[in-house]
């Protein structure tokens, strides 16, 4: 079951966060774009499982249809969303629903990966290694790319809720514009810091995380005199590091299950 779950999660992350461009996200309300994304989801799941048996093909079909239905529901809810944190809430609910659907498929068809072509072509040991590699790629992508999107929505929601108290003011508009620039400028720093934290957790070097926190504190020292910006930095840092630690722990658990110490 774990291998099937891992490969479906890998296919999901690949389809949603690597092969889906921002233009596709912006135009997904169009039926043609949604169908194109659904086709990509189905293709990645098909390749990930190397599906050729009935069980594997059913797993691909169910996972793909569930993904399309969840995306359609999210689009319908997004049209009515007005809350400052609506984007973050919808994103979180959307991803939780996707993961739940993947978990259900893996629980109902646990042998979908084992019955696919990868074990037949590569052998059982190499196929387990492939699943472990997929778990690692999934974890890295979740820590960096997914974390970047979540943090951007979190901080944008905070900025929007702050500026909502004085709608139309020049100061509010300037803060929103500056915030967007800062979010874009800090994206690479966020990717790097979460990547390092992810690596240190996998290596068991938790003490090294303190050096990353210290380095970021020095770089962000200029904001210490500005309470509004310092609060955003603290919230963003805690959320970023917490997300990286959680994804690393989940990845480590998956790797232990797929490729236990001493295997091979």
pLDDT digits (tens, 9 = 90+) for 143-158: 999 998 998 888 888 8
**Same structural domain for residues 110 and 147?**
no
Q: Share the mean pLDDT of the chain.
A: 85
Closest CA to 15 of 43, 34, 35: 43
d(CA 152, CA 178): 13
DSSP-assigned states of every residue in 84-137: TTHHHHHHHHHHHHHHHHHHHHHHHSTTTTTTSHHHHHH-HHHHHHHHHHHHHH
| 157-166: average pLDDT | 70
**Same structural domain for residues 160 and 198?**
yes
**Same structural domain for residues 91 and 152?**
no
Looking at the structure of the chain, the number of domains it has is: 2
pLDDT for position 13: 96
pLDDT for position 141: 95
Last residue of a domain, one of 122, 153, 171: 122
For the chain, the three-class secondary structure string (H helix, E strand, C coil) is CHHHHHHHHHHHHHHHHHCCCHHHHHCCCCHHHHHHHHHHHHHHHHHHHCCCCHHHHHHHHHHHHHHHHHHHHHHHHHCCCCCCCHHHHHHHHHHHHHHHHHHHHHHHCCCCCCCCHHHHHHCHHHHHHHHHHHHHHHHHHHHHHHHHHHHHHHHHHHHHHHHCCCCCCHHHHHHHHHHHHHHHHCHHHHHHHHHHHHHHHHHCCCHHHHHHHHHHHHHCHHHHHCHHHHHHHHHHHHHHHHHHHHHHHHHHHHHHHHCCCCCC
Cβ distance 66 to 101 under 8 Å?
Answer: yes
Instruction: Check whether 171 has a pLDDT greater than 70.
Output: no
Last residue of a domain, one of 122, 153, 173: 122
- On whether residue 127 sits in a domain, the answer given is no
d(CA 144, CA 175): 26
**Same structural domain for residues 74 and 110?**
yes
Instruction: Check whether 96 has a pLDDT greater than 70.
Output: yes
- On whether residue 136 sits in a domain, the answer given is no
Last residue of a domain, one of 122, 157, 179: 122
**Same structural domain for residues 31 and 99?**
yes
| 79-104: average pLDDT | 89
pLDDT for position 176: 44
- On whether residue 16 sits in a domain, the answer given is yes
- On whether residue 135 sits in a domain, the answer given is no
- Full residue range of the structural domain in which residue 230 is found: 143-252
**Same structural domain for residues 153 and 188?**
yes
Stated pTM of the model: 0.85
**Same structural domain for residues 98 and 160?**
no
176 exposure class (CB count in 10 Å sphere: 0-12, 13-18, 19+)? middle
**Same structural domain for residues 185 and 115?**
no
- On whether residue 149 sits in a domain, the answer given is yes
- On whether residue 262 sits in a domain, the answer given is no
pLDDT band at 215 (very low <50, low <70, confident <90, very high): confident
Torsion of CA 208, 209, 210, 214, to 10 degrees: 110
Instruction: Check whether 62 has a pLDDT greater than 90.
Output: yes
**Same structural domain for residues 86 and 164?**
no
**Same structural domain for residues 232 and 149?**
yes
List, for residues 118-137, the tens digit of each pLDDT value: 999 999 899 999 999 999 99
- On whether residue 131 sits in a domain, the answer given is no
Cβ distance 126 to 106 under 8 Å?
Answer: no
- On whether residue 191 sits in a domain, the answer given is yes
Cβ distance 77 to 91 under 8 Å?
Answer: no
**Same structural domain for residues 63 and 110?**
yes
d(CA 181, CA 186): 9
pLDDT for position 61: 96
**Same structural domain for residues 148 and 111?**
no
């Amino acid at each position: 079951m774990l291998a099937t779950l891992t490969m479906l999660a890998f296919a999901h992350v690949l389809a949603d966060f690597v092969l889906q461009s921002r233009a596709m996200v912006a135009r997904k309300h169009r039926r043609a774009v949604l169908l194109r994304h659904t086709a990509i989801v189905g293709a990645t799941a098909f390749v990930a499982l190397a599906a050729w048996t009935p069980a594997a093909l059913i797993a691909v079909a169910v996972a793909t249809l569930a993904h399309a239905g969840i995306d359609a529901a999210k689009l319908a809810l997004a049209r009515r969303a007005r809350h400052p944190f609506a984007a973050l809430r919808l994103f979180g609910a959307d991803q939780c629903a996707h993961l739940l659907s993947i978990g259900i498929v893996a629980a109902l068809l646990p042998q979908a990966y084992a019955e696919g072509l990868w074990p037949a072509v590569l052998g059982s040991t190499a196929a387990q290694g492939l699943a472990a590699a997929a778990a690692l790629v999934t974890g890295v992508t979740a820590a960096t790319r997914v974390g970047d999107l979540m943090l951007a929505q979190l901080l944008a929601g905070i900025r929007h809720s702050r500026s909502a108290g004085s709608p139309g003011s020049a100061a509010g508009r300037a803060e929103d514009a500056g915030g967007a620039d800062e979010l874009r400028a800090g994206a690479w720093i966020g990717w790097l810091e979460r990547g390092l934290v992810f690596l240190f957790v996998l290596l068991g070097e938790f003490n090294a995380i303190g050096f990353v926190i210290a380095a970021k504190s020095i770089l962000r020292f200029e904001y210490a005199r500005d309470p509004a910006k310092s609060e955003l930095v603290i919230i963003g840092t805690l959320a970023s590091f917490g997300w990286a630690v959680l994804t690393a722990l989940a990845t480590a658990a998956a790797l232990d299950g797929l490729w236990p110490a001493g295997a091979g």
